Amino acid sequence: MKHNELETKNELQEKSLFDKTVGRRSFLQYAGAGAAGIALVAAGCKKDRGYENPTMNGGVTLDFKDDFGVLNYAYALEQLEAAFYVKVASAPPAAFTTAQKAYFQDIQFHEIAHREFFKAALGTAAIGSLEVDFSSIDFTSASSVLGAAMAFEDLGVSAYNGAGPRIKNGTYLLLAGKIVSVEARHAAYVRDLISNGSFADLNSLASLGANNSAGLDAALTPDKVLTAAQKYIKTKINVINL
């Protein structure tokens, strides 16, 4: 499935890869030698973006041995969300109100900003672009789009909450925190569109790890999140060192 917006972006990003600045290096210097190793591997197969590990043909590898694995995991999810909202915003369901169209466009740009931020922050350590599969979503149906949006947002919140404790660097943790609350705001908005008042229905999020009586939101480990997201992603995602 081709998305013009995504294809265009990829070209721009490829170009920007060669223009990495010292500032980027300092952002990433925390990872030290381990990161350098990853960067070298990635640089060695620049023409094959997406082949983090050449032996894992056609897929991407999320290596959770360090923060780069977690950040790439977030990057993967933001790619998925951005691709979904780009499609919604470009042709919203006819039943959407003007206000809904405007907010879904906002969300689209938020997710693109998140995706581009991770791409820029990860630099040469970034995984390649994922190919998505939205065949299960009827983009002409408001209920289908809203249902998928809710699934993406709640899953995103659970993913960030579940991955947060894996992050070793405080700067990265804060950045993840800056994003997850925006995802939670999206989730609440979409939920209210589906059923007003369900913005924080933690009982309905129990399967994602929420607990209503303790006032705790969802949190899932990466393996569970990726299993749930699998139906929307064509690219094979290899998870190691989880």
Partner 1 sequence: MNIVNILEEIEKVDGEIYERLNPRRAAMKSFFNMGKKISLAAMPLALGSMFQKAYGQTALPAAVVDVLNFALSLEYLEYHFYNHCIVGKTPGSAVTDVTFNFPNAASQAAITTIRDHEKAHVDLLVGALGSSARAPIAYADTDFRAGGAFATVYSDYNTFLAVAQGFEDTGVRAYKGQAGNLLVSPGVLQTALQIHSVEARHASHIRQMRTAAGTTVYKPWVSLGASGQANDSGVAAVDAVYAGEDLTVQAGANIVGIGGNAGITKAVAVESFDEPLDKASVITIANLFLRDGKKL
Chain residues in the site for partner 1 (CB under 8 A): 8-9, 12-13, 16, 23-24, 26-27, 99, 103, 106, 108-110, 112-117, 119-121, 157, 160-162, 164-168, 170-171, 173-175, 177-189, 192, 196-197, 199-202, 209-219
Residue nearer to partner 1 on the CB measure, 141 or 211: 211
CA-nearest of 6, 213, 37, 210 to 115 is 6
Give the distance, in angstroms, between the CA of residue 47 and the centroid of all CA atoms in the same chain: 23
Residue nearer to partner 1 on the CB measure, 131 or 201: 201
Residue 19: both structure tokens together: 């223009």
What are the residue ranges of helices labelled H in 57-97? 67-90
Instruction: Work out how close the CB of 24 gets to partner 1 at its nearest, in angstroms, rounded to a whole number.
Output: 7
Instruction: Work out how close the CB of 225 gets to partner 1 at its nearest, in angstroms, rounded to a whole number.
Output: 14
Q: How far is residue 120's CA from residue 191's CA, in Å, rounded to a whole number? A: 31
For tokens 């042709």, name the residue: 91
Residue nearer to partner 1 on the CB measure, 9 or 87: 9
Instruction: Work out how close the CB of 117 gets to partner 1 at its nearest, in angstroms, rounded to a whole number.
Output: 6
Residue nearer to partner 1 on the CB measure, 61 or 132: 132
Helix (H) or strand (E) holding 59: strand 59-63
Instruction: Work out how close the CB of 57 gets to partner 1 at its nearest, in angstroms, rounded to a whole number.
Output: 28
Instruction: Give the Cβ contact number of residue 8 at 10 Å.
Output: 10
